[in-house]
């Protein structure tokens, strides 16, 4: 088998090697059960201990209060774009902030169910900054405010959130959950697809305050009602069992290295090194010029020449630095440096950027 590469993919993203090794060890026989977690009944006591353990570890990592439910769902964060308005739009109104591809999709989906106001947007500038938000624009009768914490494609990220005037704040944290310390009490609901900072694709984590559950529209399909899953402990139907098991291993691994405060320090260090290399180069520039708005997870950058971009990507791949292509909307390159990307991977990329800059 060839050596492992440094994988800068935006998602599915890199997973901690310790997690992959442990999963490999347990693949044929989990905890003396004589079978793989993949083959195990989700109604068994053994599997119940896995899903309970995953929830317990996530609650500890994020300090989730007892009045919030933790749900392990399917359908990706994109399914939440419909579930949120179906469950939370009591008055048929919601306010959204548009900062990228996923918030655009969330807005489009919510418009099927009610009156959506886009309070702020940076779309005209291809989302290369966060829009300024006038808090007076939030409507008194809106059912909730929706935001996206970190924009995977465009590389922007909220460091603080606006005062939403007591409205429930719902945030898509798919690409930066567990990357930095947050106070869950500041949010009515947090949701995230697993495939960037939690585990493999197929699991979606929803952390929702209990007082928001039980108000779904009458026409809401059973599987799209939060109450269905909250009442059944995420076991209404067969959950993505193996994905939840891998998420549990990931949560426990993160706890073992000091939890979110410890990984935040490492993430800040990795991002600073990479931004520094790009900002001090002659060839490269970041998509996001305003340093306040920059993400510590996703860093899109490019040269002024498509040929140079292609050359950079081809030569980087030969060095074992892979999946660095930018999204089609930004072009160029994008380095996603999630929790599981080791410091050494970023150091190697930084050295390569400097070498490429000098040679070209």
Cite the active site residues: 102, 172, 196
Cα 91 to chain center, whole Å?
Answer: 29
Cα 162 to chain center, whole Å?
Answer: 20
Extract the tokens encoding 122: 């940076």
d(CA 189, CA 171): 6
Q: Is the preceding omega at residue 12 within 30 degrees of 0, hence cis?
A: yes
- Strand, helix or coil at 266? helix
Other C-beta atoms closer than 10 Å to the C-beta of 78 total 15
Tell me the backbone φ, ψ of residue 104, rounded to 5 degrees: -60, -45
Beta strands per DSSP E along 16-59:
none
d(CA 191, CA 177): 9
Distances (CA, A) of 201 to 16, 128, 196: 15, 27, 8
Tell me the backbone φ, ψ of residue 303, rounded to 5 degrees: -100, -175
Find out whether 229 and 204 touch, Cβ atoms under 8 Å. Answer: no
Residue in this structure with the two tokens 């190697």, named with its chain if needed: 348
Among residues 182, 139, 144, the alpha carbon closest in space to that of 161 is found at 182
d(CA 270, CA 185): 28
- In the 8-state DSSP scheme, what is residue 130? P
């Amino acid at each position: 088998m060839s050596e492992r590469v440094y994988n800068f993919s935006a998602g599915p993203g890199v997973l901690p090697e310790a997690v992959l090794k442990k999963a490999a060890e347990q693949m044929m026989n989990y905890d003396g059960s004589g079978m793989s977690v993949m083959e195990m009944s989700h109604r068994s006591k053994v599997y119940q201990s896995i899903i309970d353990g995953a929830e317990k570890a996530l609650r500890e990592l994020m300090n989730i209060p007892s009045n919030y439910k933790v749900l392990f769902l399917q359908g990706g964060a994109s399914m939440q774009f419909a579930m949120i308005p179906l469950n939370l739009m009591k008055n048929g109104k919601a306010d959204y902030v548009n900062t990228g591809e996923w918030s655009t999709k969330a807005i489009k989906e919510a418009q099927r169910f009610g009156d959506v106001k886009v309070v702020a947007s940076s779309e005209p500038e291809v989302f290369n900054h966060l829009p300024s938000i006038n808090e007076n624009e939030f409507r008194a009768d809106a059912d909730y405010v929706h935001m996206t914490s970190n924009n995977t494609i465009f590389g922007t990220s909220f460091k603080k959130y606006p005062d939403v005037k007591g409205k429930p704040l719902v945030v898509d944290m798919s690409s930066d959950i567990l990357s930095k310390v947050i106070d869950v009490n500041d949010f009515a609901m947090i949701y995230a697809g697993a495939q960037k900072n939690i585990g493999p694709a197929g699991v979606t984590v929803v952390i929702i305050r209990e007082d928001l559950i039980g108000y779904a529209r009458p026409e809401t399909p059973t599987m799209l009602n939060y109450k269905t899953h909250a009442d059944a402990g995420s076991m209404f139907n067969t959950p993505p069992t193996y994905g939840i098991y891998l998420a549990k291993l990931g949560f426990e691994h993160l706890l073992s290295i000091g939890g979110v405060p410890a990984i935040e320090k490492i993430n800040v260090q990795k991002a600073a090194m990479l931004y520094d290399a790009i900002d001090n180069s002659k060839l490269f520039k970041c998509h996001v010029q305003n340093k306040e708005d920059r993400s510590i997870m996703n860093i899109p950058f490019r040269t002024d020449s498509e040929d140079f971009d292609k050359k950079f990507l081809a030569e980087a791949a030969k060095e074992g630095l892979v999946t660095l292509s930018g999204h089609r909307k930004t072009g160029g390159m994008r380095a996603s440096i999630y929790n599981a990307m080791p410091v050494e991977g970023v150091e190697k990329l930084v050295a390569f950027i400097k070498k490429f800059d000098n040679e070209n």
